[in-house]
């Protein structure tokens, strides 16, 4: 393994690198006449071989835009894909398409949640958006492209306060509904919607 120049051809000033991969020697041109560039390329190749051998996360993680496209292509169900697509568009708008997955942190996830709330999204929508990002990052982690899913460190927003609570009908409200309701609804009111049954 090392850096060398080939002799006996016109490209004799070009530096080449040699390294071992899966028990075999590989040679590759650096494309440069600068020895330092060739040494840096050799260092990168050694790191890539080491990462593959130990199944480590890659040092150069993909950009968010590419990861989103690959993730959506892997989702089999149309409705699920449409929901993820809607959420991940908001993610791309906030983080930008060129951010690397390794640069997403729990702090930036919390910032994304707060930004969605400030834009007028409900807590449930913000939670679904973070869940879509988390699903994509979990898949990326399984592919050994990142070492940790930062969304697992971010808590969910409380959605209960925003939900409409069930309210039993009073006897007066029940009588008003019965006066205009069809027969099937009047029968169901008799059993379910009384305040006394709650």
The pLDDT tens digits along the chain (198 residues) read: 688 887 765 556 888 888 887 677 888 888 888 889 888 888 887 877 776 654 445 557 889 999 999 999 999 999 999 999 999 999 999 999 999 988 899 999 999 999 999 999 999 999 999 999 999 999 988 887 887 888 988 888 888 877 777 777 778 887 888 888 888 877 776 655 544 444
Please say whether the beta carbons of 68 and 92 come within 8 A. yes
The predicted pLDDT at position 198 comes to 44
CA angle (14 as vertex; 10, 19 as ends), nearest 5 = 125
pTM of the complete model: 0.58
How many angstroms separate the Cα of 3 from the Cα of each of 45, 58, 165?
Answer: 12, 24, 71
Burial 97-108 (b: 16+ CB within 10 A, else e): eebebbebeeee
């Amino acid at each position: 393994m090392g850096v060398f120049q080939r002799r006996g051809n016109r490209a004799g000033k070009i530096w080449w690198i040699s390294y071992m991969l899966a028990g075999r020697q590989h040679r590759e041109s650096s494309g440069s006449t600068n020895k330092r560039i060739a040494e840096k390329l050799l260092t990168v190749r050694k790191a890539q071989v080491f990462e593959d051998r130990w199944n480590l996360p890659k040092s150069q993680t993909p950009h968010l835009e590419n990861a989103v496209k690959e993730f959506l292509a892997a989702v089999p169900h149309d409705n699920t894909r449409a929901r993820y697509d809607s959420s991940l568009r908001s993610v791309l708008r906030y983080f930008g398409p060129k951010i690397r997955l390794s640069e997403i942190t729990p702090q930036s996830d919390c910032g994304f949640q707060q930004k969605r709330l400030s834009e007028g999204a409900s807590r449930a929508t913000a939670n679904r958006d973070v869940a879509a990002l988390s699903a994509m990052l979990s898949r990326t982690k399984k592919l050994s492209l990142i070492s940790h899913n930062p969304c697992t460190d971010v808590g969910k927003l409380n959605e209960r306060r925003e939900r409409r609570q069930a309210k039993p009908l009073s006897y007066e409200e029940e009588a008003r509904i019965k006066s205009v309701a069809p027969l099937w609804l009047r029968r169901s009111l008799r059993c379910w919607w009384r305040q006394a049954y709650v």
